[in-house]
Structure 1
Amino acid sequence: MSDALGFQPDPVVRTNDLVIGCIGAGMIMAECHLAAYHEAGFKVGAIASRTESKAAAVAKRWGIAKVHATPEALIADPSIEILDIAYPPDQQPALIYAALKQPHIKAILAQKPLALTLADAIALRDAAAKAGKVLSVNQNMRYDQSMRVLKQIIDRGDLGEIVFAQIDMHAIPHWQGFLADYDRLTLANMSVHHLDVLRFLFGEPVEITTQTRRDPRTTFEHSDGITVSTLRFASGVLAVSLEDVWSGPRAEGYDNDQSITFRVEGTAGVAKGSIGWPTGAASTLSYASQTATGGKWVSPTWDTMWFPHAFIGVMEQLQHAVKTGTPPALSVADNVKTVALIEAGYRSIAEGRTVKLSEISTN
Structure 2
Amino acid sequence: MTDRFDPGALRQWWPKPSKPRPIVIFGAGSIVGDAHLPAYRKAGFPVAGLYDPDHAKALQLAETWGTRAYSSEDEALATTDAIFDLATPPAAHAAILAKLPTGAAALIQKPMGSDLEAATAILEICRTRQLKAAVNFQLRFAPMMLALQDAIAKGHLGEVVDFDAWLALATPWGLWPFLKGLPRIEIAMHSIHYLDLVRGLLGNPRGVHAKTIGHPNHEVAQTRTAAILDYGDRVRCVLSVNHDHDFGRKFQACEFRISGTLGAAYVKLGVNLDYPRGEPDELWFRPAGGNDWVSVPLEGAWFPDAFVNRMANLQRFATGEDQELIGSVEDAWQTMALVEAAYQSSAAPATAIAPLPRQ
Q: Please, what TM-score do these two structures have when normalized by structure 1?
A: 0.87
Contact 2:93 2:122 survives alignment (8 Å): no
What pairs with 1:98-177 in structure 2 (closer than 5 Å)? 98-99=99-100, 102-103=101-102, 106-175=104-173, 176-177=176-177
Contact 1:144 1:305 survives alignment (8 Å): yes
Partners of 2:75 and 2:195 lie apart in 1 by: 33
List per-residue Cα deviations over 1:266-285 (Å, max 9, x = no partner).
11111112111124233111
Partners of 1:234 and 1:336 lie apart in 2 by: 22
What's the offset of the Cα at 1:140?
Answer: 0.9
Q: 1:305 aligns with which of 271, 280, 301?
A: 301
Partner in structure 1 of residue 331 of structure 2: 334
Q: Which amino acid aligns with 1:226?
A: R
What pairs with 1:1-363 in structure 2 (closer than 5 Å)? 5-64=8-67, 66-70=68-72, 72-79=73-80, 81-99=82-100, 102-103=101-102, 106-175=104-173, 176-220=176-220, 222=221, 224-233=222-231, 236-249=234-247, 254-255=248-249, 258-279=252-273, 280-291=278-289, 294-324=290-320, 326-353=323-350
SS of 2:146 mapped into structure 1: helix
Residues 234/332 of structure 1: CA separation in 2 closer, same or farther (3 Å cut): farther
State the number of aligned residues.
339
Tell me which moved more, 19-28 or 33-42: 19-28
Contact 1:15 1:316 survives alignment (8 Å): no
Contact 1:83 1:109 survives alignment (8 Å): yes
SS of 1:79 mapped into structure 2: coil
Contact 2:212 2:343 survives alignment (8 Å): no
Q: Which amino acid aligns with 2:48?
A: G
Partners of 2:86 and 2:208 lie apart in 1 by: 30
List per-residue Cα deviations over 1:70-118 (Å, max 9, x = no partner).
4x2344323351110111111222112222xx24x72111011010121
Partners of 1:74 and 1:191 lie apart in 2 by: 35
Tell me which moved more, 107-116 or 323-332: 323-332
SS of 1:343 mapped into structure 2: helix
List per-residue Cα deviations over 1:163-190 (Å, max 9, x = no partner).
2111111233454222223211101001
Contact 2:143 2:299 survives alignment (8 Å): no
Q: Which amino acid aligns with 2:329?
A: V
SS of 2:212 mapped into structure 1: strand
What's the offset of the Cα at 1:50?
Answer: 2.7
Residues 166/75 of structure 1: CA separation in 2 closer, same or farther (3 Å cut): same
Partners of 2:159 and 2:153 lie apart in 1 by: 10
Q: Which amino acid aligns with 1:34?
A: L
Q: Please, what TM-score do these two structures have when normalized by structure 2?
A: 0.88
Partner in structure 1 of residue 355 of structure 2: none
Contact 2:11 2:147 survives alignment (8 Å): yes
Partners of 2:81 and 2:233 lie apart in 1 by: 42
What's the offset of the Cα at 1:299?
Answer: 1.3
Partners of 1:234 and 1:60 lie apart in 2 by: 53
Partners of 1:205 and 1:266 lie apart in 2 by: 18
Partners of 2:262 and 2:59 lie apart in 1 by: 54
Tell me which moved more, 35-44 or 115-124: 115-124
Partners of 1:213 and 1:86 lie apart in 2 by: 27
Partners of 2:229 and 2:246 lie apart in 1 by: 26
Q: Which amino acid aligns with 1:271?
A: A
Partners of 1:50 and 1:258 lie apart in 2 by: 39
What's the offset of the Cα at 1:68?
Answer: 1.5
What's the offset of the Cα at 1:194?
Answer: 0.7
Residues 173/114 of structure 1: CA separation in 2 closer, same or farther (3 Å cut): farther
Partners of 1:199 and 1:235 lie apart in 2 by: 17
Residues 209/91 of structure 1: CA separation in 2 closer, same or farther (3 Å cut): same
Partners of 2:41 and 2:32 lie apart in 1 by: 12
Partners of 2:154 and 2:181 lie apart in 1 by: 45
SS of 2:226 mapped into structure 1: strand
Contact 2:14 2:313 survives alignment (8 Å): no
Q: Which amino acid aligns with 2:294?
A: V
